[in-house]
Structure 1
Amino acid sequence: MVGKIKTVIVGAGGMLGTDLRAAFPDALAITHKDMDITDREAVMRAIRKAAPDAVINAAAYTNVDGCEDEQEKAYAINGLGPAYLAEACKEVGATLVHYSTDYVFDGSRPEYRESDATNPISVYGKSKLAGEKNVQYNMDDYRIVRTSWLFGRHGKNFVDTILSLSKQMPTVKVVNDQVGKPTYTVDLAEKTKELITLPAGIYHISNEGVCSWFEFASAFIDNAVPCTTAEFPRKAKRPRYSVLVNTKTSPLRHWKDALRDYLS
């Protein structure tokens, strides 16, 4: 079915977007250079012209600390952009797949299901939640995909950063009191083919396996040392636990298997 539907990928130049292009080779790829997601008229014009059956939105402002400094930009890209896409999709009768984040939760519970109450503690999380709500307000035929700890070949990510630091320093301090699920963008992009065919709603999609950032780092470098969040202060607060439980669809493979593929 997916091979025959006309698909548009928004944010096609990013880490996830590039892998989505591989998963949907016939899709129309729209990058930031082609369309400003914060410009309502530009969004409406582009989606009307394409007249797709499905729109996949991978455009986002994902610099968690940067969002604290640039709140207006964060809400424009993560909050208003999805609203405009939802409005355009409803008009042309297209399904919208929109990616959100584990950071819509406050981290006070060990794990989160799709139906659990949200309570973001950072501007990034709040702006992404605004996007979720705007999509739901503007249309019914949506798939909101909450995912976590993304790593992939086509963008800046934790694995590359830590690998680089590992070569430059005798030891690399990595926080051991933030727990979640790493997710490989290749696996998420492939899973999106199935998600388009599933009922409308919110989905939690991440690779299987729970770990701390320190445990994640220790899987691919041998000079990581644990530290606390208090020892490594950042501008934006991070949830202590952000484990997403997928209750609606078949699980992805374990993150260690995905990491092996990524590193090879």
Structure 2
Amino acid sequence: MVCRKSMVVGTIKTLILGAGGMLGSDLCKAFPEAVKFTHKDLDITSRKQVLEAIREINPDVVINAAAYTDVDGCEDNQELAYEVNGDGPGNIAEACSIVGAKLVHFSTDYVFDGSKKEYTESATPNPINVYGYSKLLGEKKITENVDDFRIIRISWLFGTHGKNFVDTMLKLSREMDTVKVVNDQFGKPTYTVDLAAKVKEIIGLEPGIYHITNDGICSWYEFASSIIDNVIPCTSEEFPRKAKRPKYSVLANTKTEPMRHWKEALKDYLKERSA
């Protein structure tokens, strides 16, 4: 484990965990003077490492973007999923409680089963895959171990520093005559740059659960149609995956001002990607 010298953002000392990931990379840009840890620096599943590191840094705010996000992979690696997405956040929450730090943690729309058209922050979770169960366990362990938390549920992330749907569509479009994409799963695409910037606001709000996405609802097919021209719709039954997906995972934000529409964010991402 490497402990870098801590810096102060204004009067707030911030620690970012999972700094090497797609969201973590944009968080690092939004909080340039924060202490930044990748997985190589800190294994969040090790309670000992987490407690030692956070005690040493003594941050005011911990932003945890570390997670195991391979939804189908979680079905094959259930123990790892629960360790990283469940036990890890619990370790971080315990350490935050000890040093008196605020914890910002990212959860997922997949804590819901998709039986409703949209879900508010107070809706009752009911996951239908291991990824969702593991992330819900993380939420539970956070609420059990620290009072000053902000759990941000997010969905359909795309950004420049990791594998995402937009890049996959562009790649497949070049390789195939037509690309089949499901038209019966609905959610809200979210640009990591916008989300990272929004975290600054969330830190200053009351503890609790927040649903933060770009505005606008679409199916995966509609999302794909805004990226490539050679896409055709199909049903989930025609495109089976190892992990079951919720049909509707639309997160309703009732606590903060909405972010811009995902189509505007997508235009900026495509410009950034081609720059």
Paired residue for 1:207? 214
Paired residue for 2:194? 187
Q: CA RMSD in A?
A: 0.9
Residue 10 of structure 2: SS of its match in structure 1?
helix
Q: Structure 1 regions of 5+ residues with no counterpart? A: none
Query: Shift of the alpha carbon at 1:123?
Result: 0.1
- Structure 2 length as normaliser, TM-score? 0.95
Deviating above 2 A after TM superposition, structure 1's stretches of 4 or more consecutive aligned residues are 1-4
> Contact 2:9–2:34 (CA<8 Å) still a contact in 1?
no
Of residues 157, 160, 164, the one that matches 1:157 is 164
Code of the aligned partner of 2:19: A
Is residue 253 of structure 1 aligned with residue 260 of structure 2? yes
Paired residue for 1:227? 234
Q: Tell me the alpha carbon deviations over residues 149-180 of structure 1, each in whole angstroms, 9 at most, x when there is no partner.
A: 00000000000001000000000000000000
Q: Tell me the alpha carbon deviations over residues 53-85 of structure 1, each in whole angstroms, 9 at most, x when there is no partner.
A: 000000000000000000000000000000000
Code of the aligned partner of 2:111: V
Of residues 166, 175, 178, the one that matches 1:171 is 178
> Contact 2:50–2:91 (CA<8 Å) still a contact in 1?
yes
> Contact 1:184–1:255 (CA<8 Å) still a contact in 2?
yes
Code of the aligned partner of 2:45: T
Q: Structure 2 regions of 5+ residues with no counterpart? A: 1-7
How far, CA to CA, are the matches of 1:224 and 1:74 in structure 2?
Answer: 32
Paired residue for 2:103? 96
Query: Shift of the alpha carbon at 1:4?
Result: 2.3
Of residues 38, 41, 47, the one that matches 2:45 is 38
Residue 248 of structure 1: SS of its match in structure 2?
coil
> Contact 1:2–1:193 (CA<8 Å) still a contact in 2?
no
Matching of residues 1-264 of structure 1 within 5 Å:
3-264=10-271
Query: Shift of the alpha carbon at 1:2?
Result: 6.1
Q: Tell me the alpha carbon deviations over residues 113-161 of structure 1, each in whole angstroms, 9 at most, x when there is no partner.
A: 0000100000000000000000000011000000000000000000000
> Contact 2:147–2:207 (CA<8 Å) still a contact in 1?
yes
Q: Tell me the alpha carbon deviations over residues 229-263 of structure 1, each in whole angstroms, 9 at most, x when there is no partner.
A: 00000000000000000000111100000000000
> Contact 2:128–2:245 (CA<8 Å) still a contact in 1?
yes
Q: How many residue pairs were aligned? A: 264
Query: Shift of the alpha carbon at 1:220?
Result: 1.2
How far, CA to CA, are the matches of 2:148 and 2:29 in structure 1?
Answer: 24
Code of the aligned partner of 2:208: G
> Contact 1:55–1:89 (CA<8 Å) still a contact in 2?
yes
Code of the aligned partner of 1:246: N
> Contact 2:9–2:33 (CA<8 Å) still a contact in 1?
no
How far, CA to CA, are the matches of 2:46 and 2:123 in structure 1?
Answer: 32
Code of the aligned partner of 2:164: N
Report sequence identity in percent: 69
Residue 3 of structure 1: SS of its match in structure 2?
coil
